[in-house]
Amino acid sequence: MSILLQAPVTAFDHYLTAESPKAFAPSFRAFYRFLREEVQFGWTGSRDHTYHHCARVLLFTLMIGRLEGLAEDRIHDAALAAVFHDSRRLDDGFDVGHGLRAAHYYRQYTNAHRRPFSRPVYAAIAFHDRDDALALKAFQHAPDAENQRTVWRLLKDADALDRLRFGEAALDQTYLRTQAALQLLPEARRIVQESAALVDQRPG
Domain coordinates of the chain in residue numbers? 11-196
* C-beta neighbour count of 178 within 10 angstroms: 20
| Residues 58, 65: Cα–Cα separation, whole Å | 11
Q: How many residues does the chain have?
A: 204
| Residues 151, 144: Cα–Cα separation, whole Å | 11
Are 58 and 34 in contact, with CB atoms under 8 Å apart? no
Residues 6+ apart with CB under 8 A from 96: 129, 130
pLDDT for the residue numbered 200: 56
For the full predicted model, state whether its pTM sits above 0.95.
no
Instruction: Tell whether the torsion through CA atoms of 7, 11, 16 and 19 is positive or negative.
Output: positive
pLDDT beneath 70, residues of the chain: 1-8, 200-204
Instruction: Tell whether the torsion through CA atoms of 20, 22, 24 and 29 is positive or negative.
Output: positive
State the angle between helix axes of 51-68 and 145-161 in degrees (0 to 180), rounded to the nearest 10: 120
